[in-house]
Structure 1
Amino acid sequence: MSNSERVVLVLGGAGTVGSGVVKALLDKGFKVAVISRERSRLDRLCSFVSPNTKDNLTTIVGNVGSEDGAEQVKQELLKAVKVTDVVSSLGFSWWQGGPPHTQSLKDLQWVIDCLLYSTFVSWKVFFPLVRDDSSCTYTFITGGAGEKLLMPGTGFLTVGAASSLAFCQVLREEYPDVACKLNQVRIDTGVATAERLAPGFLNHLELGEAIAAVVQQRSTSHSVFNINSPADLKTVLLDQHI
């Protein structure tokens, strides 16, 4: 399939990381679908992408964090497009609510819901659309916070991120022979838009180009691409070491 024949569902496509991925995919000629609970975020995404690619962007308001919501939005999505690839960039990049003894069970449940449950539910619903086709891909974007405490007060972020990392490991090992190209990009540094870049951070547009390269190439499966710095972004992904 050429890029123009492929439709990439970008879960979390209205966020900072996801918007960079969406723009890069559209610029490469892919068709892209994005789901968000908020129409306003989808409208901002439409105004962000290149004007000449807007016709290739499908946006749907829906909730992929619940089984019923995800199933409902899948049916709506399939009426509009045939999904060939999935990029999962769900959750959030930062949480600093305080040390565990100051938090409630509800706080922990919210973090796990955002970082694990939504990833699991969306995978369960959308993975069957691509799993049996060797020309299809499913790419998880995860963070490195699950391997260490970033700073005091971020403990629940570590717990949630660790659960997401573990889930991706389980999938690689539980489905060793699946036809679909199943990969993970693990980002252990900050990601920001151009106007908010700080030293060592990744520009979300450059990261988007790298993720788009992984989707486009389809040359590896069950791989983890570790990105710890802007230099890694270039050497691991943009130099086609995929």
Structure 2
Amino acid sequence: MSKSDRVVLVLGGAGTVGSGIVKALLDKGFKVAVISRDSNRLERLTSFISANTKDSLITIVGDVGSEVGVEQAKQDLLKKVGKITDVISSLGFSWWQGGPPHTQTLKDLHWVMESLLFSTFVSWKAFFPLVRDDSKCTYTFITGGAGEKLLMHGTGFLTVGAASALAFCQVLREEYPESPCKLYQMKIDTGVATTERMTPGYLNHLDLGDAVAKLVEQQNASHVVFTIRCPADLKSVVLDENI
């Protein structure tokens, strides 16, 4: 299957991490679909990508955070593109510092879990059946390292939500050990920023996007977790010719 025949759905594609992935995929010749509740973010994404790839970007205004919303978004998307061959799930948010747990409400915890876990679950439930039985398809999760440590005082709920997302990915690898569709997880254990907001030690979202696009393009391994702790890991782990 040629890259121009593949349609990659990037969930969270209008965010910092997702926009780098979307641009890299488009530059490699893939067709890319992005769903967002915010039409303004979709417009910014369209302005950000390379001008000669705009015709290969499909945008849908929709909500993948609820079962009803994601089903509607899926139907709207399939009417436009007809099929999905690859899914990249980069949902949630990158930072939360609302305070120590005893100062928070159940509503706060629910919001964190909804953003990091529930949306990942309902979108998986909706889109995995579209690619599950095809060995030429991929499903990639982009997760964070916050689930394995407390980043700093006041970020406890972020750790709880991120840990839940990590556990969900582990469950899927073990529940579907022989899935023809190739399953990947990229665990980012450092910050990610746009070029103009770069900080030492952070990943440039464009470099991360290139790595994810190459992973999807190669399709050589399955049920693999790639841990990225620094920019060098993008080459030493993800871009290893043996992967």
Q: TM-score range by the shorter chain?
A: over 0.9
Q: How do residues 162-241 of structure 1 correspond to structure 2 at under 5 angstroms?
A: 162-241=163-242
Q: CA deviation at 1:233?
A: 1.1
Q: 1-side partners of 2:90 and 2:147: how far apart?
A: 15
Answer yes or no: is the 8 Å Cα contact 1:88–1:119 preserved in 2: yes
Aligned partner of 2:42: which letter? Answer: L
Q: 2-side partners of 1:173 and 1:239: how far apart?
A: 25
Q: Unpaired segments of 5 or more residues in structure 2?
A: none
Answer yes or no: is the 8 Å Cα contact 1:3–1:29 preserved in 2: yes
Q: 1-side partners of 2:224 and 2:164: how far apart?
A: 18
Answer yes or no: is the 8 Å Cα contact 1:11–1:86 preserved in 2: yes
Answer yes or no: is the 8 Å Cα contact 1:16–1:193 preserved in 2: yes
Q: TM-score, normalised by structure 2?
A: 0.99
Q: 1-side partners of 2:9 and 2:39: how far apart?
A: 17
Answer yes or no: is the 8 Å Cα contact 1:10–1:32 preserved in 2: yes
Aligned partner of 2:222: which letter? Answer: S
Q: How do residues 87-236 of structure 1 correspond to structure 2 at under 5 angstroms?
A: 87-236=88-237
**2:57 maps to what in 1?**
57
**1:36 maps to what in 2?**
36
**1:70 maps to what in 2?**
70
Q: Unpaired segments of 5 or more residues in structure 1?
A: none
What percent of counterpart residues are identical?
76
Root-mean-square deviation (CA, aligned residues, Å) is 0.6
Q: TM-score, normalised by structure 1?
A: 0.99
Question: Could you say what secondary structure the match of 1:230 adopts?
Answer: coil
Q: 2-side partners of 1:167 and 1:93: how far apart?
A: 18
Q: How many residues align?
A: 242
Answer yes or no: is the 8 Å Cα contact 1:235–1:241 preserved in 2: no
Moved over 3 A (4+): none
Aligned partner of 1:172: which letter? Answer: R
TM-aligned CA distance change 1:241 to 1:107, over 3 Å: farther
Q: CA deviation at 1:234?
A: 1.4
